Homo-oligomer: A and B are copies of this chain.
Amino acid sequence: MYSIQELQSIIDKAVKGTSYPAEPKELYEPIAYLMSLGGKRLRPALVLMATDLFGGDINDALAPALAVELFHNFTLMHDDIMDKAPLRRGKPTVHAKWGDSVAILSGDVMFVKAYKMMIQVKPQILADVLDVFNATAIGVCEGQQIDMNFENRGVVEVDEYLEMIRLKTAVLVGGALKIGALIGDASKQEADNLYQFGENLGIAFQLQDDILDVYGDPLKFGKQVGGDIISNKKTYLLIKALELAKGDDLIELKNWLAKPDFNSEEKVNAVRNIYNNIGIKDLSENLMQSYAQLALDNLDKINASQENKSTLMDFADMLIKREH
């Protein structure tokens, strides 16, 4: 079975080998630009990995894998407009470079291109693959909306947060794997089990992201450590801290959340200290581990060789032990 690194590199090569029409350049240059900014290519690699797991030919899964990467980048292009984000992977976002209208329309075309790649599967599985893709796309949009709604809400419960990251992040991890499984001729039941593996792993992945944002090594993390704290982002860490903090810790935490002007480093250190006082890191890591364990339980149920399954286990392990 291929290693995840091999699959990522196959995807990366295919992305680099993709060309777009020359005109209208306002539509196609932003697509080529965003796709060229890199990223880990994990989601499309998962499509290939799932096909490989069930003994399918990864060449049959390459177009749908690229569809997943196009779809993921389409959501980034539109999300960045909504979030007014100036940078993506350290480079100007599409809307910052070309304006909102270009980013809206270019994103729309990107979404159609994703469908065009996705339908390049055997006729017998086309309807099933599209059902998964459509459900995934709706989930991701709903997750993004719920995430934006959280910004305007005082209190968010842990369960609501977990449902939001399930939709915004995890259904695409699950969907990518399920599509790959269908291409690899897995049964519906096997494909569903692999979906559940992916969904649970996706939740663990996002929790790890939230933890790294606060506790990551600045030299390895790649983004500004403490970004979530600076923006009062309602992650699991903050939600749990607001639930558990008492006395002075709670007063201080609420003060930091309410301050319109502050020194970023000071705020990040202060809030991290409060998290440390109430053991937020351990709580978060335990929760992440419990989702990782659920994922492994799902994998256990799948009828594939132990050797093949261990590649997925290694992948899960890599995701939750990653430092960036």
Interface residues of A (CB under 8 A from B): 24, 26-27, 78, 81-82, 100-101, 104-105, 108-109, 111-113, 115-116, 119, 123, 126-127, 130-131, 134, 137-138, 141-142, 144-146, 148-149
Contact A142 B112 (CB under 8 A): no
Q: Give the nearest-CB partner of A143 in chain B.
A: B24
Contact A78 B100 (CB under 8 A): no
Task: Give me the 6 closest cross-chain CB pairs, A-B, nearest first.
Answer: A82-B101, A24-B145, A112-B137, A109-B141, A116-B134, A27-B145
Main secondary structure of the interface of A (DSSP, over half): helix
Q: Cα distance A109–B127 when bound, in Å?
A: 19
Contact A105 B26 (CB under 8 A): no
Contact B105 A82 (CB under 8 A): yes
Q: Which residues of B contact A108 (CB under 8 A)?
A: 78, 108, 111, 137, 141
Q: Give the nearest-CB partner of A115 in chain B.
A: B134
Contact B101 A104 (CB under 8 A): no
Q: Cα distance A24–B144 when bound, in Å?
A: 10
Q: Give the nearest-CB partner of A21 in chain B.
A: B142
CB-contact partner of A24 in B101, B112, B146, under 8 A: B146
Q: Which residues of B contact A142 (CB under 8 A)?
A: 24, 27, 109
Give, as a whole number of angstroms, the nearest-CB distance from A80 to chain B.
Answer: 11
Q: Which residues of B contact A81 (CB under 8 A)?
A: 100-101, 104
CB within 8 Å for A130 and B134 given contacts A26-B149, A141-B108? no
Contact A112 B141 (CB under 8 A): yes
Q: With contacts A27-B145, A100-B100 known, what are 9 further pairs, Cβ within 8 A?
A: A78-B104, A81-B104, A82-B105, A101-B148, A105-B145, A111-B111, A115-B130, A116-B134, A126-B126
Q: Cα distance A126–B128 when bound, in Å?
A: 12
8 contacts between A and B (CB under 8 A): A24-B146, A26-B145, A27-B141, A78-B105, A82-B100, A104-B104, A108-B141, A123-B127
Q: Cα distance A250–B133 when bound, in Å?
A: 55
CB-contact partner of A82 in B104, B112, B148, B149, under 8 A: B104
Give, as a whole number of angstroms, the nearest-CB distance from A77 to chain B.
Answer: 10
Q: Which residues of B contact A27 (CB under 8 A)?
A: 141-142, 145
CB within 8 Å for A130 and B119 given contacts A104-B78, A105-B78, A105-B82? yes
